[in-house]
Amino acid sequence: MRKCLVFLFLMTAIRSFSLKVRNRDIYGVTSSYQSLSAQSEVRNGDIEDLEPGSSLFKPSPVPGYSKKIDEDYQRKKLAKILLDKDLITRTIADWSRPMPAEYVDAPLILCGPSGVGKGRLIKALMKDYSKFFKKVVTHTTRAPRIDTVNGSEVNGTDYHFVTKEFYDAMLADGLFLENAKVHNNYYGISCESLKSVTNEQKIPIIEVDIQGAKSIKKFVASTQSLRPKYVFVSPQSINMLRERLDIRATETEEDIQLRIKNAVLELEESKEEGLFDEELVNDDFEKTVNTFFRLARDWYPQLPSPARIRMLQRKIAKVREMEQSMKTNKEVGSN
């Protein structure tokens, strides 16, 4: 039968759309779908004509005829699910549109006490927006956290783990945009780490403590080269923060006590007028993620909405489910 030109156009568009979201490839529609569409002639009215209960589903004296009609109906139903050209076209247009160059000079600064959930918020944002954002990797003298539940920290990805001697040499050479001593360890954002992100034309995400946020503000005031957006993430209570650190189980009791002590001071300092643009209270992580996304869309309004991609994912998942069901029914029927 004739191939459906619209469906082929759709499949070509999906294959060319090379964006990965939430670690799943949303355009991986298999060749079997093309085979199904090639066997199905989709015209206006085709699917309605094949709805269950129509005259085409009346018992037929021809052996296998009803089964053939049912298979055609299933194929056309698959095609109908994906034949949303408007969704595909708008999604491709949104995610293909170049990000405004000025966004690169507006890094997203995320600040808050240890254990409040800054890292998780960044990972949530990156799952949908890795095309537009990238975390600036901090240098630190502390050892990597070993976490058998959520995964241990990776050198070069979570932090650049360096010796105190190496850190001091970088500091002496003036290589840090900001640096501070936090919880008896040293942390610093190097100018090179920031540049490596901006060179990729992505919005830098910088995770710092209160001292780091203040240092960046001083740097910006003196150079006028950046227009950061500052977010402070706070816990619902100190007791909740303590519970999270206990659950994380990556610090000693002495370290936890020190972090709680510093958290109290940070929460007090965060109230300084003009220091932060927004504050997020992380009492419910999913709600906090949603608020964080809304902030990002408000500050960077040209960012595309992930909702359309998720809708496309659901459509493709439905196609796969239906195709598998058809395959299973066919195997059962042949037995």
What DSSP line would sit under 126-183, residue for residue? HHHHTTTEEEPPEEESSPPP--TTT----BTTTEEE--HHHHHHHHHTT-EEEEEEET
Q: Given this model, what pLDDT does residue 333 score?
A: 64
How high is the pLDDT of residue 225? 81
Domains detected in the chain: 5-95+308-334 (no CATH), 98-303 (3.40.50.300)
Predicted local distance difference test score (pLDDT) of residue 83: 58
CA atoms in the 13 A half-sphere facing the CB of 290: 6
234: which residues sit within 8 A by CB, 6+ positions away? Answer: 112, 113, 116, 267, 270, 279, 280, 281, 282
Distance of CA 92 to the CA centre of its chain: 17
> Helix axis angle, 306-334 relative to 31-38, nearest 10°?
70
Q: What is the set of active-site residues?
A: 145, 248, 259
What whole-number distance in Å separates Cα of residue 243 and Cα of residue 312?
38
Other C-beta atoms closer than 10 Å to the C-beta of 5 total: 9
In 3D, which of 133, 145, 128, 136 has the Cα closest to residue 91? 128
Q: What's the distance, CA 211 to chain centroid?
A: 28
10-residue mean pLDDT series, the chain (335 residues): 44 45 36 39 36 41 53 64 71 86 95 92 93 96 81 88 96 93 91 95 94 90 86 94 86 89 93 94 94 95 86 77 75 65
Give the pLDDT of residue 71.
Answer: 63
